[in-house]
Each structure stands twice: as C-alpha cells, then as structure tokens.
Amino acid sequence: MHESRLANLLGATVLTLSDRMTAAAATAAGVSLSGTAALVVLAEFPGLGGTDLGHRIGLSQPATARMLDQLEARGLVERQGKQGRGVAVVLTEDGRDAAKRALDARQEVLVRALRSVADREALEPVLEQLLRGLHAEVRAGDLMCRLCDRPGCVAQRKTCPVGEAERRS
C-alpha cells in the first residue's frame, strides 16, 4: 500500500472517530468538550488542583478557572480546601454521573466502529505501537488519555501502552 494512501486512510479514520467520539461524550455529559474531559479526569483522579487539571486536559490556567466556574455553577464539581496554593476539585454525584455518561457514549461510538473490523485482535498491537510512538513525540500521556476509560485499558491484566511509555521516558 502506498504510504500517502495509508496516511490518508488513517487521517480520515482518526478525524471521523474523534469527531463522533467527542461529540457523543460532550452531548452525554451535557457540557463542553473541555468540561467533559475535566469530568472524566476528575472521576479517575479526584482532588486535583486546577493547574494540574488544566495541564491534563490542555487548557491554560485562566481557561481552566472559567471552565471550573461553569462546572461548579452546574453542580458538577466542588472546590474544596486549599492544597498549598491550589484548591482541590472533586466531582459531585451529578458530576460522577455525567462523567459515566460521557465514557459510556464514547465507548458506544468506538465499539460500533470496531464492529466493521474483521480482525480486531490484529488491530490491538498496531494501536499499542502507534500510541507508544505518538507518546515519544508528544510526551503528554495525561493529555493523550484525557477521555480514556483507564480501567478498561488495563482490564484483563493488560498494560496501558501510554502509561508504559510514560514510565520509560
């Protein structure tokens, strides 16, 4: 297969899946895409400060503060006592529910897409290799996995390829 064709096929696949996955997750959570990413990250890492959360989802400190104000106004997060100079952010029950809905919607889009792949087992090592290579370039595992179902990634005693690459760097 010609390399530019393979790159083009990958690009169209990634873009289409990304558009469908992020739209479904944000719609299910009922908030912006960055708000959805924040909910998913906080579900896995409760008590992060705003600055750390912003780094994990790719937002500046002012943008993170505005997003947290919106999530707090909607009753999805709470800011708790100070941690040094920062404030810990945790999900409310409604926030946990929204994060779960987002992950479920994301999963549905991806599982539906995989149904058209005849040899899914052959795809897994290729995707692992691709993720390790991408991590070597961007070195931002938390950002890469901001909408991941982290427990699902390591189910059945598997190792997350991004986490593995992160530990080796």
pTM assigned to the model: 0.88
The whole-number pLDDT of residue 67 equals 97
The whole-number pLDDT of residue 101 equals 98
The whole-number pLDDT of residue 103 equals 97
Percent of the chain as helix, strand, coil, to the nearest 5:
70, 10, 20
> What are the residue ranges of CATH 1.10.10.10 in the chain?
1-116
Parts of the chain with a pLDDT under 70: 1-2, 82-85
Torsion of the alpha carbons at 137, 134, 165 and 159, rounded to the nearest 10: 170
Going by C-alpha positions, the residue among 115, 117, 144, 116 that lies closest to residue 128 is 144
Instruction: Report the alpha-carbon distance of residue 85 to residue 5 in Å, rounded.
Output: 50
The whole-number pLDDT of residue 33 equals 96
The whole-number pLDDT of residue 120 equals 86
CATH number for domain 1-116, candidates 3.40.50.720, 1.10.10.10, 3.40.50.1970, 1.20.140.10? 1.10.10.10
Q: Which residues pair with 48 in a beta bridge?
A: 89
The whole-number pLDDT of residue 159 equals 87
